[in-house]
Amino acid sequence: MTADPTSPLAAWTDRLAALAPALTVAERPFRAQLTVRVSDPSAIEAMGSALGVAFPPVPCTFTSGSGPFGDLEVLWLGPDEFLVVASPGLQVPIEDALRAARGSARGSVVDTSAQRTTVVLEGAHVRDVLAHGCSVDLHPSSAPVGTCVQTLLARTGIILQVTGEDRFAVLVRSSFAGYLAAWLSDACMEYRT
């Protein structure tokens, strides 16, 4: 028997909620994440069909949709590297499905669900807050909805997804999540009214 899981930002829930209305910050913990390394185009296509969501063909983008495993997202991490993100608890069946779809092609499917937690940021000032620590141009003209970049936010390695007009998802290493939350609350200070 194992202990109940505690999310990396469980201790921050109230303090992050207090940042509203400057910024709405919510953690989405325990999402199923699988790192997929595969370069064979037919295997990539087969894996996309197995999930019901095609893998992103363009660098620095992500795809999302619904399939046999519910709503999920496939993030581009590198020319032969993808991250499949789905609802909590689905890592084992998705891993099995991806392994079966890969067939004999070279590649790997690894469960990395515990590696990162997701922080969803939303609000009119979200770009201003992120600009305090992130050098990537996040203006909608250069980072439209569907963009997914790996970069540094306040010296912390993150995956940044543009999921809506003023909505971003930040995937951060669990061990860095507390630092990121502290930095976010500080960066929000000037936008609180």
Partner 1 sequence: MQLIPCPWCGPREEAEFHYGGQAHVAYPEDPSALTDEEWAQYVFFRENPSGPFAERWSHSAGCRRWFNAVRDTRTHDLLAVYRVGEPMPELGEKDQVAS
Shortest Å, Cβ 102 to partner 1: 21
Note the Cα 7 to chain centre separation in Å: 15
Closest Cα to residue 184, out of 136, 123, 105, 143? 123
Nearest-angstrom CA–CA distance, 135 and 153: 8
C-beta atoms surrounding 122 within 10 Å: 17
Nearest CA to 40 among 80, 92, 88?
80
What is the footprint of partner 1 within residues 46-65 (CB under 8 A)?
59-60
Q: Is 140 in the site for partner 1 (CB under 8 A)?
A: no
Using CB under 8 A as the binding rule, the residues of this chain from 72 to 91 that contact partner 1 are 77-79, 81
Among 10, 152, 182, 189, binds partner 1 (CB under 8 A): 152
β-strand partners of 128: none
Comparing CB distances to partner 1, the nearer of 60 and 105 is 60
By CB under 8 A, is residue 141 in contact with partner 1? no
Say how far apart CA 164 and CA 79 lie, in whole Å: 25
Minimum CB distance to partner 1 smaller for 26 or for 131: 131
- Least separation in angstroms between residue 78's CB and partner 1 is 4
Q: Which residues of the shown chain bind partner 1 in the complex (CB under 8 A)?
A: 59-60, 77-79, 81, 135-136, 149-152, 157
